[in-house]
Amino acid sequence: MSLYHLPARRLAIDRRRAEFADRECEDRFIRHFLPERRAQLRASLLFSAFFYVVFGLTDIATLGPTPTAWAMVALRLLVALAALCACEAIARHPDSVRVSIRATCAVMVIGSSAFPILCWYQPAAMPWNLMSFGMILMAIYVIFPNRFVYSAAIGTGASLAFGAMLLVQGSLKLDDLVALVLMLILGNALGTIAARRFHLAQREQFRSAMLLEEVADCDPLTGCHNRRIVERGLLDAELTRAGRYGAALSVILCDIDHFKRVNDCHGHAAGDLVLGAFAGLLRSMAREGVDCVIRYGGEEFLLVLPETELAGAHALAERIRHAFAQASTPVGNGSSVTATASFGIACVPALHPYPPASFDVLIEAADEQLYAVKRGGRNGVRGTIVAAAPELLRSGT
Ligand SMILES: Nc1nc2c(ncn2[C@@H]2O[C@H](COP(=O)(O)OP(=O)(O)OP(=O)(O)O)[C@@H](O)[C@H]2O)c(=O)[nH]1
């Protein structure tokens, strides 16, 4: 689960395609279900490959041990081989949505293209083949996890190929052909309805979960994230991500100076307005969708800045400090409040050989810097580089 919430407008569902209209959102949805999807896909591929081969017995029973029957068994084995290769590709690229979708489509196209060839040589077994084709359609639409539009395209294409084969073969009477066409249309219509309903239900459920999570993670007074985001371990995940890619990561811990006085002089409601104004300033200066602003305590806020070195974090903190000191917040009755804030920064620079193991280390370091500013008279910024190895610790920039 990512640190950042997607705005509700980006969670809109394109009902025609039965997926999220926003690509990033759809991607996040698929990634969320990727482990489950991988297991389902593997089971579907192995199950289908097994039955595709086992039905080779019917080829031999119908045609006898003739070269044609053996060629058909070989074709079935080829389809099974394609399914095994798809399983292997998915196992090699467990985090790739693209590989999982391409592998699924490839196997379904190969399997449904081979099927009319198998049926071509067994006109007498047509009722059975028709039943088998119904099951293949069910697998395409509802068993194999895939994008709805791809399932619909492959299902329709496979039906056209199967219908064309029967037409060319000429083994069916006109009334049977009409019934067959109607059956194929019905099979595809039912498949489309079932698949679309399933895709939409899954996405609506995901959207509700996202919206609930956003409400639970949001501080109602300031509109910032609350500490739940820290407790859910998302900041540790951010530190791990930065370490994996060798990227810098900075945090700014900031606190409004003498905030108790604001409450005491102007009342708690005025204090709330000042808090809201400070939070609004932090959010407006942070990068949307990249930085994360958390209300860490009463009048204390934490900014998490991915891919930001100490100098960048320092410059941002200075800009916020200056803007807040210049601003005055109207608190009713024609009066307004001017306040200042103090900032402590901790940074893990890019490609640091000894990044700290836990985010708490970063917060503690930022907290020390913040209190050094408070002790030094407030309304200032101090920062430090943080590392696991003490000899690399350089402080007091
Ligand atoms: N209005 C309002 N006040 C709050 C809220 N949360 C915490 N406070 C107040 O914030 C004040 C924090 O006071 P202190 O921790 O003494 O800090 P300070 O007065 O800002 O002093 P320094 O941090 O040392 O500059 C307390 O009076 C809290 O009651 C809130 O949501 N709304």
The tens place of each residue's pLDDT in the chain, 397 residues long, gives 455 566 667 789 999 999 999 988 898 898 888 889 899 999 999 999 999 999 988 888 888 899 999 999 999 999 999 999 999 999 999 888 889 999 999 999 999 999 999 999 888 888 888 899 999 999 999 999 899 999 999 999 999 999 999 888 887 788 888 888 899 999 999 999 999 999 999 999 999 998 888 888 899 999 999 988 888 777 888 888 888 888 899 999 999 999 999 999 999 999 999 999 999 999 999 998 789 999 999 999 999 999 999 999 999 999 999 999 999 999 887 889 999 999 999 999 888 777 777 888 899 999 999 999 999 999 999 999 987 654 444 444 4
The pLDDT value recorded for residue 388 is 61
Mean pLDDT, the chain, whole residue set: 90
For 218, the token pair is 């949001």
Which sign does the torsion angle of CA 315, 321, 327, 333 carry? positive
* Domain 228-395, CATH homologous superfamily name and number: Reverse transcriptase/Diguanylate cyclase domain (3.30.70.270)
Distance CA 312, CA 328 (A): 26
Rg (CA), the chain: 31
Residue found under tokens 């192995």: 46
Q: Count CB-CB contacts under 10 A for residue 142.
A: 15
CA 257–ligand 1 middle distance (angstroms):
9
271 Cα nearest atom in ligand 1: 1
The pLDDT value recorded for residue 214 is 82
Q: At what angle do helices 67-92 and 34-54 cross, to 10 degrees?
A: 170
pTM metric for this prediction:
0.69
Specify the residue with its C-alpha closest to ligand 1, atom 4: 298
CA 267–ligand 1 middle distance (angstroms):
12
CA 299–ligand 1 middle distance (angstroms):
6
342 Cα nearest atom in ligand 1: 25
The pLDDT value recorded for residue 129 is 87
The pLDDT value recorded for residue 75 is 95
CA 305–ligand 1 middle distance (angstroms):
25
Could you report the per-residue pLDDT of 376-391, keeping only the tens digit for each? Answer: 999 999 999 987 654 4
Distance CA 77, CA 252 (A): 61
Distance CA 64, CA 23 (A): 52
CA 208–ligand 1 middle distance (angstroms):
35
Specify the residue with its C-alpha closest to ligand 1, atom 14: 260
The pLDDT value recorded for residue 2 is 54
The pLDDT value recorded for residue 378 is 96
268 Cα nearest atom in ligand 1: 1
Q: Which of 258, 260, 296, 371 to mutate to test the pocket of ligand 1 (most atoms within 8 A of CB)?
A: 260
Distance set, CA 3 to CA 6, 316, 353 (Å) = 10, 21, 24
CA 378–ligand 1 middle distance (angstroms):
15
The percentage of the chain sitting over the pLDDT mark of 70, rounded to a whole number, equals 95
CA 282–ligand 1 middle distance (angstroms):
18
The pLDDT value recorded for residue 3 is 54
Ranges in the chain annotated CATH 3.30.70.270: 228-395
Q: What burial class does residue 380 get, using C-beta atoms within 10 Å of its C-beta: 0-12 exposed, 13-18 middle, 19+ buried?
A: buried
Specify the residue with its C-alpha closest to ligand 1, atom 24: 258
Specify the residue with its C-alpha closest to ligand 1, atom 7: 298
Measuring from each residue's beta carbon to the nearest atom of ligand 1, which residues come in under 6 Å?
221, 255-260, 263, 268, 271-272, 275, 298-299, 374, 378
Alpha helices in 64-96 (DSSP H): 67-92
Distance set, CA 309 to CA 249, 270, 304, 313 (Å) = 7, 36, 12, 6
